[in-house]
Structures are given as structure tokens and as C-alpha cells.
Amino acid sequence: MALEKKIRELKEKREKMLLGGGEEAIVKQKAMGKNTARERIMAILDTGTFNEYDMFVEHDARDFGMDKKHLPSDGVVIGTGTVHGNPVAIFAQDFTVAGGSLGLMHSRKITKIMDHALKMRIPLIGINDSGGARIQEGVNSLAGYGEIFFRNTISSGVIPQISVILGPCAGGAVYSPALTDFVFVVDNISKMFITGPEVIKTVLGEEISMEALGGARVHCEITGNAHFFSSSEDECFSQIKRLISFIPRNNQVRAAVTETVPPEAGYDIEKIVPGDPTLPYDVREVIRAVADGSDFFEIQEMYARNIVIGFGRMGGRTVGFVANQPMEMAGVLDVDSSDKAARFIRYCDAFSIPLITLVDLPGYLPGVDQEHAGVIRHGAKVLYAYSEATVPKLTVILRKAYGGGYIAMSSRHLRADFVLAWPGAEIAVMGPEGAANIIFRKEITSAANPDEMRRQKVDEYREKFANPYVAASRGYVDAVIEPSETRRMLLHGLEVSENKDVQMPWKKHGIPPF
Amino acid sequence: MEKRDSEKLIIDQTAYTTRLSSRFASRKPYAPPVAGKIQSFIPGTVVEVLVQLGDTVKEGEDIVILDAMKMKNRLKSHLDGKVVAVNVKPGDRVTKGAVLVEIV
């Protein structure tokens, strides 16, 4: 046969494969507001850069009628391409083919592209849209999942791994996203749970819809399993591309450096934080007042709002911001905010992204529910993460830094490189009200007018201790600065730390309080 | 973000003006468990009640069999005493924390 005829034959075979589960299935997919697997890949990658592999892979299962089933590309599309000109590896499950269910060859395709990603040291993007294990393939499906989870773990901290939940991702399958760095979810489309509503109803008698059990909002607001929320797939793709622009392609190189752009003119940094330490403000305004272009890419915005994390740039270089949020739960540290901060700190440390911490907190949240939920164990994660991190660590104490919270929020003692404090900073063992009541209890209870004595003692304590100078006198704070000097000092601190080299004692790895 | 008004949160005798999380606002105040209340630790179905009103029971004795998670769970007494209330019968579906039998 002449070559041209063979080329025509190839084109015909490809056309068939590109239809996936067929026109009808595609219509159903679109009706749910969902795109097809290849459409999603094309939307994320730079135009014209997608190279697909294993398009013609077929399953060889014979049981339960599988020998009669022809499943195009075995329900998953894999390949490589570029995002912002940088190579990435990508896979997308095809819900139109047997519900995107995972069988042996399907999983082999995914593990193949995962192996490529690790070998080539490029980011891995996984689009999950699957009904779960292909029951007809039995234990082979379980084996498939296991091989995926192992690779997610081995690649963790070496290459960025991004999971996009664009459909159901249930049962064991959901552990792959859980092992990756960032999870993207879309309202009304993403569904993640270990056990679904039907089983929960049968075994426990609890009734709940899929959306209320494991929809996008649940994972963004309650469980903390997801990092980015969007209302449409298109919005989601923009977020993914934006994230990739901030992070390096592997742990051996730094993130791309852009041009330095000053913050927008509208921010008056001296007017953002109220003088009265009990009044709230949005700490993200302070971040925007110092970051390049006032551009702040927040992560897990809807979870544990009392702490803020995200990426920005300083002098063109990506930095990770961690900041207490006084307008939510007074910016306290608690179980969820500790988890949120600790994992982000470790992500930045793994990928050589400097950390800038803004401090304004009254301490930890009291309560039996917090104590019984393990605030001790979870809170310890923040201490561990900051201590372990060897990336440049810059801290700015904006206002309150009381007690254990002062220590945990990237203090000198956890080896922050530069600790700056604003003039209104209150670095003390606790707030004046609480402290005076303890230290001067005798004077207060034995006074002729206890209330007046208490007021006097609170003022005394405030005068003496609620300021940055006691800490500065010990060198726990490197400099007390005017708010308007903040950006300049941070830029200089980052410049100076460019080649920071700190060696930790050799260990296989520590034992963080998981 | 939804509009939520600022309220007060007291930490170390200082009142902070701030928004409260829905989790904090809807938390259940702690109530210590009462030894004599035999409660279901999980939603399930009562299979059998092994005691009657007025029975004397010993600590560790099986009181109720609760069908849950495909297991027949045996709920035991935490103290020596007398059965003062039996709130369920076989076949009843119960929620987590439901008080099934009371012993004094």
C-alpha cells in the first residue's frame, strides 16, 4: 500500500479516537457544563503544543463482557506540551469512555506520563474526571491506583504536581489529588469523597447530596482538601496557568524572574493597620501595599480564613506570604490555620521560594473543641515547618505578637533571617489586660478601688511591655521600622539572602507531628 | 465573599472586634459525658436490649446490641447500678449520641 493511503488510514483512526465515547456522550458531558478531556488539555496548554501519547492503547480484559467492549484510548488522554513556554506533563481522564473508569491500561498510561514527568523534572497536571475503579477489571484497578499513589509520593517536592477535579473523583481515586501539591475545584462539577451518599445512607442512615458531601465548596470551606475554587472550567484553567507562572518547574531551579513592578499607587501603608490593637483590618491590603504590582495570588482563600497564604513577587522574584488575618477570628492560630500554614511553608521550602511572614495575632484560640481536636499537635506543625525551612525567611511584626503565637510566626528563634517590627508592634507574653490581671492580682484585689487599680496596672503594663523595644533591646527584633520602609527593607533582605546556604544535621527525614 | 458582620472574640480578657468563623459560631458547648447514659457512638439500628427496667447491672455488662457498620456492636455499662430508663426497642433506628438506656 502506498504511504499516502497509510497516512489517510492513520488520520481516520485518529478521528475515531478523538470522538472518545461518541457524539451522544459528548453532548451529555457538555450539558453538565463540562468540557471533553482533550478540550481541557488544549485550554491549559499553550496553543498548538500538545503532543498526545498512547492514543491507541487498548485494554486486554476478558471478564464480564470486557472482550466485547472497545474503549477509545482506554478512557484517558496523556501527553506533554508547554505552559508559558515551559514543558509540562499532563493527563486527563475521559468521562465519555466507560465513565472514565480506571482499568489496568488506563492506569499504565497515567503512570507512564508520571514517570516521564519525574524523569524530565517537569510539572505534572492531572485532570480527574472518573467514576472510579473499573469493577470488571477487579484487583487490576486497585493495583493501578496504588502505582499512581506511590509515584505521587516519590515525586512530591521534586516536581510540582497539580490536580484538577473536573468531575467525580471518589473512593480510593481521591487519594491521588490528596497527595499532590495543589487541588483545583469547580462549583457543581467537582465531587470528592471516600464513601458516597448511597453507601453512607445504607450503612449509617445519614442522608446527604453529593454536592453537600463533597462538592467544590465543601472542600474549599470545610475540609481544606482543595486550594482553588472557581465557578467554571474556563476560570479554573486561568487559575492553573497563573499558578504555574509563579512556581519553578522543579526543585533544582528557581521560579522565573520577571521585571520589578512597584506596588500600585493607591495603597497608603500607614493607614491600613489601626492603632487600637483590638480593631480589625484586612492584612491582604498590607501584602498588596508591599508586593510587586500589588499582585497577590491567594491560596485556600475560603479555608481557615484567620491565616492568609499565597504567592506574590518582590523584585521580580516569587515569594510566599504567610500572614495572620485580624478581621477573621482575631487572627488567632488554631487547628486548621496551623495545618494551612505549615503545609504552605513546606511547599515554599521544597521549591526554594523565600517566605515573608506578617505577624498580628493575640495567641491561640481557646476552647475544649480546639484542645480535643489536637491544637497542640497541629499547632506544633507550624513551629516544625518554620524551623525546618532553609529558604530566606523574612518577618514583619505589624502589631500584636503575643506568647506562643510570637514564637510560632517565624520568629528569630525559629531562625528567621530578618525580623522587622513596626512602631505599633506589641511583642509580649500576652495582652496588657490579661497580663496585668495575673501579675498584679494581689495589688488589684487588696486595693481600695480594684477597678481603678486594675486600669492603672493595665496602663503600666502596656506602657512598659506592649511595644517592640523590649524585644529589640535583646536583638530578637533586628530593626524597628516605619511602615513606609517595609518594601525597601524586604527587597534588600531578599537581595542579601539570594545565596543563603544553611546545612541541617544529616537525617533521613524528621518526624513532624503529622 | 459573603458579608458577615464583625462581632467580639475574647482572648486573655481582651475583646477583639472581628468576624467569627461559622465553625466557631455553631460549635456545641462542651457537656461532660454522664456515666450512666448508654449512648450510641454511631448511627445504627437497635438489635436487642439485654436488660429491663429495674434490673441490677454490673460495670462491663452488655446492655444493648447495636447494628452498625455491618457489625453487631455490644454497648456495655460503665458502672454498677440499676436500670432506670429504657428508651429504645429492637428495630429502632438511632442517631449518633442517642441515649438508649439509663443506669443510676
Share of chain A above pLDDT 90, in %: 94
For residue A87, how many C-alpha atoms fall within 13 Å in the half-sphere facing its CB? 14
Is B9 within a domain? Answer: no
CATH topology of domain A3-246: 2-enoyl-CoA Hydratase; Chain A, domain 1 (3.90.226)
pLDDT tens string A467-480 = 999 999 999 999 99
CATH architecture, domain A269-430+466-496: Alpha-Beta Complex (3.90)
Q: Is the pLDDT of residue B1 over 50?
A: no
Whether the domain at A3-246 and the domain at A269-430+466-496 fall into the same CATH topology: yes
Does B18 contact A369 at a Cβ distance shorter than 8 Å?
no
Look up the pTM and report it: 0.93
Q: What is the pLDDT of residue B97?
A: 86
pLDDT for B30 equals: 86
**Confidence check: pLDDT of A377 > 80:** yes
Q: Is B68 on the interface with A (CB under 8 A)?
A: yes
Q: Report percent pLDDT > 70 for chain A.
A: 100
Q: What pLDDT score was predicted for residue A394?
A: 98
As a whole number, mean pLDDT of residues B6-27 equals 92
pLDDT digits (tens, 9 = 90+) for A390-449: 999 999 999 999 999 999 999 999 999 999 999 999 999 999 999 988 999 999 999 999
Q: Is residue A407 helix, strand or coil?
A: helix
**Domain presence at residue B67:** yes
Are A20 and A39 in contact, with CB atoms under 8 Å apart? no
CATH of the domain at B43: 2.40.50.100
- Greatest CA span in chain A, whole angstroms? 110
pLDDT tens profile B33-51: 787 899 998 888 999 999 9
Answer whether residue B13 is part of any domain: no
| Mean pLDDT calculated for residue range A129-157 | 95
pLDDT tens, position by position, A96-106: 999 999 999 99
Confidence (pLDDT) at A259:
96
Q: How confident is the model at residue A330 (pLDDT cuts 50, 70, 90)?
A: very high
Q: What is the mean pLDDT of residues A216-245?
A: 98
Q: Provide the pLDDT confidence category of residue A234 given band limits of 50, 70 and 90.
A: very high
Q: Would an 8 Å CB–CB cutoff place B67 in contact with chain A? A: no
Q: In this predicted structure, what is the pLDDT of residue B43?
A: 87
Contact B14 A431 (CB under 8 A): yes
The residue range of the domain holding B67 is 37-103
Quote the ipTM score.
0.87
**Nearest CA among A274, A287, A263 for reference residue A396:** A287
Q: Where are the domains of chain A?
A: 3-246, 269-430+466-496, 432-465
Q: Does residue B66 belong to any structural domain of this protein? A: yes
The burial class, CB within 10 Å (0-12 / 13-18 / 19+), for A416 is: buried
- d(CA B48, CA B40) in angstroms, rounded, equals 13
Q: Could you read off the pLDDT of A183-200 as tens digits, one per residue?
A: 999 999 999 999 999 988
- For chain A, the residues whose C-beta falls within 8 A of a C-beta of chain B are 203-206, 222, 277-280, 302, 305-306, 326-332, 362-363, 365-369, 402, 430-435, 437
pLDDT of residue B3: 56
Mean pLDDT of A357-384: 95
Number of domain units in chain B: 1
Closest CA of chain A from B101, distance in Å: 20
Residue numbers in B near A432 (CB within 8 A): 14
Which residues in chain A are contacts of B15 at CB distance < 8 A?
Answer: 278
Determine, yes or no, domain membership for B20.
Answer: no
β-bridge mates for residue A77, sequence order? A92
Please report the DSSP string for A211-237 in residue order.
HHHHBHHHHHHTS---SEEESSHHHHH
Q: Are A255 and A353 within 8 A, CB to CB? A: yes
Q: In B21-66, where does DSSP find H-type helix?
A: 22-25
